Structure 1
Amino acid sequence: MKRIPQICLLLVLQFCPAIAFSQIGSAETQVNVLIGQVLSIQVSQPSVNIDMGLSTHFINGNSSAQQTNHIQITSNNGYEVSVRSASQFFSLNGNTSTLPVNTIMVQTTLGDDLTGTNSSPSSSLSVNGSVPLSTSDATVITSGEGESARGFHVTYSIPASQTGSYLNKEPGTYTTSIIYTVVPQ
């Protein structure tokens, strides 16, 4: 019989709500995202050759062949890419020659998405095909939107119409520096 009061007490405690007092509080924080201007350009092949060593090259012209993803752009907003030569004439053995750089055409085409996600390029992307090399900036790429990492293929060529400039030149390696510049749009 002593057990019945204990069982009744347990049942009462089990079915009666217990009143618990606890402290309720909150805290907050502010998260700031600092977006800066991200604008990056790289050239993947630091040296490119155009061979003018065969008679057919002086008849038909020649090219460097396509330089895959030669220009690589990262920009978080719209951008524009231009190309120019550092000098008006090629150098031979460190000396300025009479061979003008404007005999070279720079042909740019859409390359690959370099993020690995195969994303499509922006609908505002415009690639300006082929431009003659010059000491003045020539726009080759324009995009109204940013991209994480996009490549562009480039082919450097000497068209048949320019091969006469290469006649009667001292054999050797003629060089010029080509500068690509990316600016926000």
Structure 2
Amino acid sequence: MKQIPQILYLLLFLSCPFFAFSQIGSAETQVNVLIGQVISIEVTQPSVNIDMGLSAHYINGSSSGQQTNHIKVTSNNGYEINVRATTEYFSLNGNMTTLPVNTIMIATSLGDDLTGSGSAAPASLQINSPVPLSTSNTNIVSSGEGESARGFHVTYSIPASQTSNYLNKEPGTYTTNVIYTVVPQ
């Protein structure tokens, strides 16, 4: 007779998981991903020099040399990069001169994937290079696809065909500001 209560206890113990499972319910949640327009641009070298201090510069032209990853862009969709000067002529010591900024050529080339993953550039990426500096927005890059972080190399140059504009000028540092803008495509 003692075996019957023990068997009942054993059956009760074995049926406990069934009772526990009957107490399980479920619930759900909705996960929302909010995608906004992400677009930014950065110029990594705030000042760039082109030397015109040698006679060879007036014969052959001169350049800043390649400014590595000079422009850094992030855009989650297609984008365009434009460049323009703030004034039509260079300034010297804060005074406007007659030296036109369109004597400068801007050559852009593909830079590095700055995410560190080594991603290739989108197939839709187009680089318009070289272009003369102007006070009008001039397109230098367009891409139908976004990228997390892409660099572009830039070289500023005075071609030999423009060096005569630099003759008979007062020595000094001639300046203009160059503005790069990135806009959604």
Q: Deviations over 1:118-159 (max 9, x none)?
A: 001100001112000011111000000000000000000000
Structure 2: how far apart are the matches of 1:168 and 1:66? 28
Task: Give, in angstroms, the shift of residue 28 of structure 1.
Answer: 1.8
1:175 aligns with 2:147: no
1:31 offset after TM fit, Å? 1.3
Work out the CA distance in 2 between the residues paired with 1:118 and 1:126. Answer: 19
Identity of aligned residues (%): 68
Aligned residues: 181
Distance 2:65 2:110 in 1: 15
TM-score for both structures, normalised by structure 1: 0.93
> SS of 1:165's equivalent?
helix
| Structure 1: tracts of 5 or more residues without a match | none
**What amino acid maps onto 1:104 in structure 2?**
I
Q: TM-score, normalised on structure 2?
A: 0.93
Matches within 5 A, 1:5-24: 5-7=1-3, 9-11=5-7, 13-14=9-10, 17-18=14-15, 20=19, 22-24=22-24
Matched, 1:155 2:151: no
The CA distance in 2 between the partners of 1:9 and 1:82, in whole Å, is 88
- Cα distance, 1:7 vs structure 2: 4.7
- Structure 2 stretches lacking a partner, 5+ long: none
Deviations 1:90-143 (A, max 9, x none): 000000001000000000000000000000110000111200001111100000
Deviation of 1:32 after TM superposition, in Å, equals 1.2
1:54 corresponds to 2:54:
yes
Alpha carbon RMSD of aligned pairs, Å?
Answer: 1.5
Q: Deviations over 1:26-56 (max 9, x none)?
A: 2222111111100100000000000000010
Per-residue deviation, 1:61:
0.5
Distance 2:48 2:147 in 1: 26
